[in-house]
């Protein structure tokens, strides 16, 4: 760098290496300037009405309770922990939502291209209805018209005494950990790894020798045998089934999914899946027709063509727009306050109005959504890189 600058004869404002740098610096300056003005303005206005800026409120006692939660929380815990509970709730709905939206989206996307008239029409109607109505309206409809209209707990529907449907929540049988759960978990992981290794080895042998070495059965066998070892060691089942029953005003046992969570999850899944379906359809249509024709000419059946020819190629086109749908789903989960599901935004708003720390609370909420979105993007980018064509 230094050597270059001494050799330079043109003035720096005409130097092609400097001009872009200079422009960038000016742009950065403007951005920083605007940001600083906003920040100072906020600090100044807060000073005028005597509000102090700071995050020390996070360690103070929250004094409010949170209903639907995965970890324990009581009114004597701190605001910081309340945020944590909210973050977990957001992750819970976003994670489950993404999984179901992906599955449903792929099914509907494929169905839209099906040769079956009924499947194609149902899929089209579904996509057009859910894609073209506002999400908040859908959440309200699911909440008021569906989940709150379930019977009351006294008259709750139940199937086989295992599942209960009532307007205070849907209850499903759930598992309880036993003393040997951890050992089982270790063997489960070990079994999975082992089965993948065995599968690879047998598959390689099959490719080399040309004889069928049954890699699938080998891998299943090794998985089952590792679980059998776990059973021999512990002589206990890994999990106990907890079956729900109605006691007094509520359910005991099982796992209760609140109506707010149900409404939000179903609405997010249905809404996002309609977009994903279109992305999947676009991805499939983008695979050139010749590929399918060639596969048909080889005599492959249509499910095999979809699995081995179309989807691997379509997935490369699907992943980038799919990522933005995932991000949308995460951000849309903030509409939960309307149905009393305490995710990060809802909890944040409660804290905001109890403490008056609007700037601080909103900044935390922004940061949480930003980091969740960036993390999702990062994972999807890694997956994208993995699925791209290896070009030489």
Partner 1 sequence: MRRRLIALLSFLLVFSVVLAGCSEKEAKVTKSRLEVIKERGKVVGGVNADIPGFGYVESDGSYSGMDVDITKAIAAAVFGDATAVEFRPLSAEERFIAVQTGEVDVLARNTTLTTSRDASVGLAFAPVTFYDGQGMIVRKDSGIESLEDLEGARISVESGTTTELNLADQMRKLGISYEPVVFDSQDAAVAAYEQGSVDAYTTDRSALVSRRTTLSVPDDHVILSEVISKEPLAPSVKDGDSKWQGVVTWTVYTLIQAEEYGITQDNVDTFLDSEDPEIRRFLGVEGDLGEQLGLPKDFAVQVIKAVGNYGEVYNRHLGPDTIFDLERGLNSLWTEGGLHYSPPFR
Q: Which one, of 254, 276, 255, lies nearest residue 97 by Cα?
A: 276
Of 70 and 129, nearer to partner 1 (C-beta) is: 70
Of 28 and 308, nearer to partner 1 (C-beta) is: 28
In our burial notation (b when 16+ CB lie closer than 10 A, e otherwise), range 245-270 reads eeeeeebeebebebbbbbbbbbbbbb
* Distance between CA atoms of residues 151 and 158, nearest Å: 11
Count, residues near partner 1 per rule CB under 8 A: 61
The strand order across the sheet containing 255-257 reads 157-159, 163-166, 169-172, 255-257
Rule CB under 8 A: is residue 63 a binding residue for partner 1?
yes
* Distance between CA atoms of residues 104 and 203, nearest Å: 32
Among 10, 55, 59, 65, binds partner 1 (CB under 8 A): 65
In our burial notation (b when 16+ CB lie closer than 10 A, e otherwise), range 183-215 reads bbeebeebbeebbeebbeebeeeeeeeeeebeb
For residue 243, the minimal CB distance to partner 1 (Å) is 19
11-19 contact pairs (CB < 8 A, 24+) = none
Q: Residue 99 to residues 15, 92, 185, 294, 341: CA-CA distances in angstroms?
A: 53, 11, 23, 33, 20
Rule CB under 8 A: is residue 171 a binding residue for partner 1?
no
For residue 355, the minimal CB distance to partner 1 (Å) is 7
* Distance between CA atoms of residues 145 and 385, nearest Å: 43
Q: How many residues does the chain have?
A: 392
Phi, psi of 179 (to 5 degrees): -65, -25
Q: Which one, of 91, 133, 150, lies nearest residue 343 by Cα?
A: 91
- Interface mask (CB under 8 A) for partner 1, residues 296-335, using x and -? ----------------------------------------
For residue 309, the minimal CB distance to partner 1 (Å) is 49
Rule CB under 8 A: is residue 259 a binding residue for partner 1?
yes
Of 36 and 302, nearer to partner 1 (C-beta) is: 36
Q: Is 112 exposed, middle or buried (0-12, 13-18, 19+ CB in 10 A)?
A: buried
Within residues 71-130, the interface with partner 1 by CB under 8 A covers 74-76
Within residues 129-168, the interface with partner 1 by CB under 8 A covers 144, 147-149, 152-153, 167-168
For residue 373, the minimal CB distance to partner 1 (Å) is 23
Rule CB under 8 A: is residue 350 a binding residue for partner 1?
yes
Within residues 13-52, the interface with partner 1 by CB under 8 A covers 18, 21-22, 25-26, 28-29, 32-33, 36-37, 40, 44-46, 48-52
Rule CB under 8 A: is residue 356 a binding residue for partner 1?
yes
Rule CB under 8 A: is residue 355 a binding residue for partner 1?
yes
Of 14 and 249, nearer to partner 1 (C-beta) is: 249
For residue 285, the minimal CB distance to partner 1 (Å) is 42
* Distance between CA atoms of residues 260 and 251, nearest Å: 17
Of 164 and 184, nearer to partner 1 (C-beta) is: 164
Of 61 and 294, nearer to partner 1 (C-beta) is: 61
Rule CB under 8 A: is residue 10 a binding residue for partner 1?
no
In our burial notation (b when 16+ CB lie closer than 10 A, e otherwise), range 23-37 reads eeeeeeeeeeeeeee
The footprint of partner 1 (CB under 8 A) covers 1-2, 5, 12, 18, 21-22, 25-26, 28-29, 32-33, 36-37, 40, 44-46, 48-52, 63-68, 74-76, 144, 147-149, 152-153, 167-168, 248-250, 258-260, 337-340, 342, 346, 349-350, 352-356, 358
């Amino acid at each position: 760098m230094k050597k270059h600058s001494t050799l330079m004869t043109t003035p720096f404002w005409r130097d092609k290496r400097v001009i872009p740098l200079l422009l960038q610096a000016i742009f950065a300056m403007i951005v920083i300037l605007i940001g600083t003005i906003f920040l100072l303005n906020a600090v100044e206005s807060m000073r005028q009405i005597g509000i102090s800026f700071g995050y020390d409120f996070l360690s103070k006692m929250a004094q409010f309770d949170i209903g639907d939660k995965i970890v324990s929380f009581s009114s004597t815990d701190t605001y910081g922990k309340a945020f944590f509970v909210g973050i977990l709730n957001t992750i819970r709905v976003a994670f489950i939502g993404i999984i179901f939206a992906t599955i449903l989206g792929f099914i509907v996307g494929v169905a839209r291209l099906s040769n079956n008239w009924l499947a194609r029409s149902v899929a089209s109607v579904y996509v057009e209805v859910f894609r073209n109505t506002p999400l908040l309206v859908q959440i309200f409809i699911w909440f008021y018209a569906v989940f709150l209209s379930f019977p009351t707990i006294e008259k709750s529907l139940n199937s086989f005494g295992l599942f209960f449907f009532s307007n205070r929540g849907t209850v499903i049988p759930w598992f309880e950990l036993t003393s040997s759960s951890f050992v089982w978990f270790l063997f489960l992981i070990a079994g999975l790894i082992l089965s993948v290794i065995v599968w690879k080895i047998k598959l390689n042998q099959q490719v080399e020798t040309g004889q069928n070495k049954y890699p699938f059965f080998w891998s299943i066998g090794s998985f089952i045998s590792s679980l059998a070892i776990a059973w021999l060691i512990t002589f206990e089942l890994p999990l106990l089934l907890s079956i729900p029953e109605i006691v007094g005003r509520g359910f005991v046992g099982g796992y209760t999914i609140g109506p707010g969570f149900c409404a939000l999850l179903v609405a997010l899944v249905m809404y996002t899946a309609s977009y994903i379906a279109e992305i999947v359809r676009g991805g499939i249509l983008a695979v050139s027709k010749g590929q399918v024709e060639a596969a048909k000419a080889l005599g492959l059946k249509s499910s095999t063509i979809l699995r081995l020819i179309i989807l691997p190629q379509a997935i490369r086109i699907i992943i980038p727009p799919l990522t933005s749908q995932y991000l949308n789903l995460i951000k849309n989960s903030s509409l939960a306050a309307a149905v009393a599901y305490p995710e990060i935004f809802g909890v944040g708003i409660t804290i905001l109005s109890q403490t008056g720390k609007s700037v601080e609370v909103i900044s935390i909420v922004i940061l949480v959504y930003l980091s969740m979105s960036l993390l999702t993007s990062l994972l999807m980018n890694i997956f994208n890189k993995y699925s791209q064509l290896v070009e030489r």
